Structure 1
Amino acid sequence: MITGYCSNGEIVTLSVADEPVALRPDIVWVDLVEPNKAEDLMMEKLLGISIPTRDDLKDIEPSSRLYTEADAVFMTASLVYRSETDIPDLTDVAFILHGGRLMTIRYAEPRAFALFKAAMHRIPGGCPNGVVMLTRLLETIADRTAEILEQAVGKIDDLSLQVFGDKAVVKRRPPHFLEARLRDVAGHHRLVAKTRDSLASLSRLLTFVYTVPEVQADKDSRELCRSISRDIQTLSEHASFISGNITFLLDASLGLINVEQNAIIKIFSIASVVLLPPTLVASVYGMNFRVMPELEWQLGYPLALAAMVISAVIPFFFFRWKGWL
């Protein structure tokens, strides 16, 4: 699908069936979403440049993701998408500046693009060219990344309250509650890790964008690019802080699981120690020796039972006194 956005806010759909001879001069942004081979060839013919394929976008080498060729600036960044799901991921998006236009090529739907399209009419002065469109779009991407981190912080705080709840809440926990929370911790870690990778990609892209002559020639775009770079740096530091909190939460959860398991093992250990003396008494009077004076006692049986009970009670209260129970 190919969509063109004009400087006056008009939206134009470009189709292979109605292949235009040339692009309208007022189109400042061409958005290619999951383009097929025919659409790639049509845009290459209209723009006179080579369009990166999906395999080209996956190339992680900086020299292949950020370069200039035939008066066109090619940039590729990894953006977070599906952040609201249990399996967030990264998608590679290409940004191309050529002939005063911006072209984007993507094979997913990062929410930042929908937010930018919805707010385009509110941009002061509009977007008269591709450079302004690019910097404004990058600003929205940075804002969306900040929103993802804020949502992650809220979810991690809720998870922390579940793990470190008050005693009344802890006692009402179902079995294997903490083990289930480990999956949540892993999900949050994946989201933050993907966000950090995206921020690193955006930081490299912005450093490259700042050196583009078209950006340097536009003072407002240059200043906005510098501001976005600072925001990206701040977000990267914040993501590192969140990652540290997740690591602490993971270690604490594993520690609490070990404490619960040790408590169960301690109960069995104490029970075995408490029952050991009565077992010893019963074993003695279960021996089949001919000469055992107690066997002739009329009160031998109740005395043996009393001895077993006393031998069990004394260790029990001793453990209570020592605070082991």
Structure 2
Amino acid sequence: MRNLRKAAQAAGERRGRPVGDGPSGGRVDLSHPGRSPLGNAVVNCAIYRDGVRQHAAIGPDEAIAHVRKRPGGFVWVGLHEPGEEEFSGVAELFGLHPLAVEDAVHAHQRPKLELYDETLFMVLKTVRYVEHDRLTSTSEVVDTGEVMVFVGKDFVVTVRHGGHGSLGPLREQLEAHPEHLAKGPSAVLHAIADQVVDHYLDVAGAVRDDIDEVEASVFADTRGRRADPGQIYQLKRELLELKRAVAPLDRPLQQLTEAGLPMVDQDIRRYFRDVSDHLTRVSDQVSGYDFLIDSILQANLAQVTVAQNEDMRKITAWAAIIAVPTMVCGVYGMNFQYMPELHWRFGYPLVIGVILTACSLLYRGFRRNGWL
């Protein structure tokens, strides 16, 4: 089943309109608070009726008052890293639960879905792949942020934390396809979840490239140079960040596909199943990557152990060879007056010959057995 955003893109292409273009034909970045005339934290606020945006710039209090005077539309308020004082007015205006408000302000939450009276509260972890020229033991690979979504019967409040995961382009995509936005606040929730999970897929693919690079370095013939275990361990830690974002989201998406949440449109519920399928795919990939990195780390440690054993065998072999002249010379170095061959003309050449022959035989034997 195609998800809602892909269906919207296909519909836009059939109408000959570029997907993701706003009314002016260009994409506007609404992610920066400094560009918003609505305040420090409020990025955007608009009324939607029948999927069509009614006002370009209006405050949240005016917007919700306008919608409730004339039912049938909803308000979408977007905020970026609001403080307690900044968010308290919005929370009071929409009747948001204090526990959910605390989570939205302080962030650092696990992905979850909670129902407070008639308001649905969802937390999603956003991820971004951090580009780097070369993976090191301190490289940052996965950067995470958060998006909190409050969904009521006539409003959507989104709170974003982090420097990525902007919802501005997503808002414009939905505004370009009012037939889907007309399904109400749950359509916005689906679009956000779909975008977040799509980013998971992109990041998982990029992380796979790093894993392939590390795997190649471990098994490559580098003539004595071994792969840095710190790189492998750092990649595992960064993969854990992705896993923490992906794994806990499975249950919330399953809940959104089930009946019993009146603020989720029945048609939208079907699209959440598609998002859930994509999440399962990402979760399987991340689990596979985690197992693969463990295997690479074990292989690297095994290589180190084998190399150390080889070094010890070489040292032992050379010590055994050196022991022959040491022993012979030690015997003939004793200061006894009466010793065999001590005054014999051929004594010295014979001893040297015995030493060289014994050392040569030991060297050939160790060489044949792969110790040297």
TM over 0.5: yes
Contact 2:151 2:263 in 1 (8 A): no
Contact 1:22 1:46 in 2 (8 A): no
Deviates more, 1:99-108 or 1:262-271: 99-108
Deviates more, 1:81-90 or 1:251-260: 81-90
Distance 1:12 1:264, change over 3 A: farther
Deviates more, 1:130-139 or 1:113-122: 113-122
Correspondence 1:134 to 2:189: yes
Contact 1:279 1:308 in 2 (8 A): no
Distance 1:204 1:12, change over 3 A: farther
Correspondence 1:40 to 2:94: no
Q: 2:363 — aligned with what?
A: 316
Name which of 84, 98, 101 aligns with 1:52.
Answer: 101
Distance 1:268 1:124, change over 3 A: farther
Structure 1 gap ranges (5+): none
Name which of 167, 170, 183 aligns with 2:222.
Answer: 170
Q: 1:3 — aligned with what?
A: 43
Q: 2:127 — aligned with what?
A: 80
Q: CA separation in 2, counterparts of 1:132 and 1:193?
A: 30
**TM-score relative to the length of structure 1:** 0.82
Q: CA separation in 2, counterparts of 1:288 and 1:48?
A: 104
Structure 2 gap ranges (5+): 1-40, 68-72, 132-138
Amino acid of the structure 1 residue aligned with 2:347: G
Amino acid of the structure 2 residue aligned with 1:53: E
Q: CA separation in 2, counterparts of 1:115 and 1:265?
A: 61
Q: Answer 1 or 2: higher relative contact order, Cα 8 Å, separation at least 6.
A: 2
Distance 1:242 1:12, change over 3 A: farther
Percent identity for Structure 1 against Structure 2: 22
Q: 1:110 deviation in Å?
A: 4.2
Q: 1:92 deviation in Å?
A: 4.5
Q: 1:208 deviation in Å?
A: 2.5
CA RMSD of aligned residues (A): 2.9
Q: How many residues align?
A: 308
Distance 1:13 1:301, change over 3 A: farther
Distance 1:279 1:269, change over 3 A: same
CA offsets per residue over residues 212-245 of structure 1, 9 Å max, x none? 2232x341x1221011111112221222112111
Correspondence 1:289 to 2:344: no
Matches within 5 A, 1:119-198: 119-120=173-174, 125=179, 127-128=181-182, 129-165=184-220, 169-171=221-223, 173-174=224-225, 177-178=226-227, 180=228, 182-198=229-245
Q: 1:224 — aligned with what?
A: 271
Contact 2:142 2:242 in 1 (8 A): no
Q: CA separation in 1, counterparts of 2:56 and 2:200?
A: 26
Distance 1:224 1:71, change over 3 A: same
Amino acid of the structure 2 residue aligned with 1:249: I
Correspondence 1:214 to 2:269: no
